Amino acid sequence: MLDVALASAGAQVVLATSSDENFPPENIIDGSGSTFWLTTGLFPQEFIISFTNLMNINNIRLLTTNVEGLSIERSVQNEPVNFEPLTEKVLEFVEGELQSEDIQVDATTAHHLRFVIKSGFDHFISIHRVNVNGSAVH
């Protein structure tokens, strides 16, 4: 199992609802926790990560700030369409450091993952890393 949500592994952020050139969505998949995507106001916010092909996945790890309500959806299509719910979370507020959230998803498959941030503990939330433990479906 490898982190399949890395630009170096061919993953792409194909949609993001906020864009500040100083904090682009590509920062989510660059492998570094010190760079981040920053939302620019309003909720909900969302982004979609597309993998190179259909993946078996079992664990998602998020490094964030100020995220409260979060839902994750998956698509198994070649194009990022027909998303279905995967899991919903309400994160805890953490003061002065990043939120680190481990989400077990019982052995499932996905070609694309959509992350919807429904609410936050601040006007602006940041996503530093999304780790998706997975391997290509053969």
**Residues at the site binding other proteins, with contacts judged by CB under 8 A:** 19-23, 33-36, 38, 40-43, 65, 93, 96-98, 119, 121-124, 126, 128
How many residues are there in the chain? 138
End-to-end CA distance of the chain: 14
Tell me the closest approach of the beta carbon of residue 64 to other proteins, in angstroms.
Answer: 10
CA distances for 85 relative to 6, 90, 105, 108, angstroms: 22, 15, 11, 12
Tell me the closest approach of the beta carbon of residue 69 to other proteins, in angstroms.
Answer: 11
Q: Which is nearer to other proteins, 44 or 80 (CB)?
A: 44
Calpha distance 39→87 (Å, rounded) = 22
Tell me the closest approach of the beta carbon of residue 74 to other proteins, in angstroms.
Answer: 26
Tell me the closest approach of the beta carbon of residue 37 to other proteins, in angstroms.
Answer: 11
Contact by Cβ (8 Å): 12, 34: no
Q: Which is nearer to other proteins, 46 or 121 (CB)?
A: 121
Classify residue 14 by burial, with Cβ atoms within 10 Å: 0-12, 13-18, 19+.
middle
